[in-house]
């Protein structure tokens, strides 16, 4: 897809990432070197803390060396999606049809348990800080790319107007898997589709699978998008600029489906 911000590079990404003009190369806080014993699986037992995250990160590091060529345009600023970098209160004051307002509406719709370090037992609004930090990728450039992938996940949900139920996650995983080639995403899309409820399966086969494939293959690579520059832009306009069609309406049995409003509900 021709675009000034869209980078088509040869497949050996591990080498080519170093050719970009990183002005702020540094290790992510909390990142830990991965020793050979860890990569071989000696320390990767079911009781190991954050086992699944470690597997995913090692898989990501290996996968980048056989990437299929379409990859993110690394930003010299290395933007982060955290509460100390994104003013969520400001986004709440944006027009209701803006991408930024839709994003905080998405976050505010979901609740989560407080962190283990908190004495509170009350549910709280979902926070971008709940995305785990990358610890086990040696290369700082790859570590940032993996961190970015994690932190834009909710932005992709917002952009595609997909909730966090099984069908919504399957759609997002297919898009991420097609655009990045990551096995964990492709596996998630396929395996998740086998666990859909009957009405979700009907929506999946009739409309949502086709939508995910169209976005994945025809839309701009979302890992290339500087989302932070589009908070004020109308959601529909932003989506169109990425060659992403309007999401399909879900059908709920005999009930008349509600039209999509552009804001998560």
Q: According to the model, what pLDDT value does residue 101 have? A: 97
Q: Which residue has the higher pLDDT, 131 or 247?
A: 247
CB contact set of 2 (below 8 Å; sequence gap of 6+):
none
Q: Is the pLDDT of residue 53 over 50?
A: yes
Average the pLDDT over 227-233 and give the result. Answer: 96
Q: According to the model, what pLDDT value does residue 55 have? A: 57
CB contact set of 264 (below 8 Å; sequence gap of 6+):
102, 105, 106, 109, 157, 158, 161, 163
Q: Is the pLDDT of residue 51 over 60?
A: no
Q: What is the pLDDT of residues 105-132, one digit of tens each?
A: 999 887 554 555 555 555 556 788 888 8
Q: Whole-model pTM?
A: 0.69
Q: Which residue has the higher pLDDT, 103 or 137?
A: 103
Q: According to the model, what pLDDT value does residue 151 have? A: 92
Q: According to the model, what pLDDT value does residue 59 have? A: 59
Average the pLDDT over 32-57 and give the result. Answer: 49
Share of the chain above pLDDT 70, in %: 62
Q: Which residue has the higher pLDDT, 10 or 197?
A: 197
Q: According to the model, what pLDDT value does residue 208 have? A: 98
Share of the chain above pLDDT 90, in %: 44
Q: Is the pLDDT of residue 237 over 50?
A: yes
Average the pLDDT over 80-100 and give the result. Answer: 94
Give 190's pLDDT tier (boundaries 50, 70, 90): very high
**What would the two tokens of residue 259 be?**
């039209």
Give 175's pLDDT tier (boundaries 50, 70, 90): very high
The distance in angstroms from the start CA to the end CA of the chain is 32
Helix/strand/coil percentages in the chain, nearest 5: 50, 5, 50
Q: Are the beta carbons of 153 and 131 closer than 8 angstroms?
A: yes
Q: Is the pLDDT of residue 197 over 80?
A: yes
Average the pLDDT over 236-249 and give the result. Answer: 97
Distances in whole angstroms, Cα of residue 158 to Cα of each of 82, 168, 190 = 16, 11, 21
Average the pLDDT over 261-265 and give the result. Answer: 47
Sign of CA dihedral 87, 74, 22, 59: positive
Neighbours of 15 (CB within 10 A): 11
Q: Is the pLDDT of residue 168 over 70?
A: yes
Q: Is the pLDDT of residue 236 over 60?
A: yes
Neighbours of 118 (CB within 10 A): 10
Q: Do the bridges between strand 7-8 and strand 124-125 make them parallel or antiparallel, or are there none, so unpaired?
A: unpaired
Summary mean pLDDT of the chain? 75
């Amino acid at each position: 897809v021709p675009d000034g911000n869209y980078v088509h590079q040869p497949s050996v990404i591990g080498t080519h990432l170093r050719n970009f003009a990183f002005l702020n190369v540094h290790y992510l806080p909390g990142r830990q070197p991965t020793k050979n014993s860890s990569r071989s699986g000696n320390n990767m037992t079911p009781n190991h803390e954050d086992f699944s995250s470690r597997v995913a990160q090692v898989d990501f590091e290996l996968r980048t060396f056989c990437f299929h060529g379409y990859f993110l345009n690394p930003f010299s600023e290395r933007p982060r999606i955290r509460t100390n970098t994104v003013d969520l209160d400001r986004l709440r004051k944006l027009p209701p049809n803006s991408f930024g307002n839709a994003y905080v509406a998405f976050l505010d719709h979901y609740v989560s348990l407080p962190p283990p370090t908190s004495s509170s037992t009350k549910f709280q609004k979902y926070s971008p800080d709940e995305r785990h930090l990358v610890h086990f990728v040696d290369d700082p450039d790859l570590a940032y790319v993996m961190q970015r992938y994690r932190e834009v996940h909710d932005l992709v949900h917002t952009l595609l107007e997909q909730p966090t139920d099984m069908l919504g996650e399957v759609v997002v995983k297919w898009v991420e898997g097609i655009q990045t080639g990551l096995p964990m995403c492709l596996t998630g899309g396929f395996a998740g589709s086998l666990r859909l409820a009957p009405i979700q399966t009907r929506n999946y086969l009739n409309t949502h699978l086709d939508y995910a494939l169209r976005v994945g293959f025809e839309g701009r690579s979302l890992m290339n998008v500087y989302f932070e520059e589009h908070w004020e832009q109308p959601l529909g306009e932003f989506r169109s600029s990425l060659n992403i069609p309007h999401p399909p309406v879900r059908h709920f049995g005999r009930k008349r489906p509600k039209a999509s409003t552009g804001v998560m509900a």
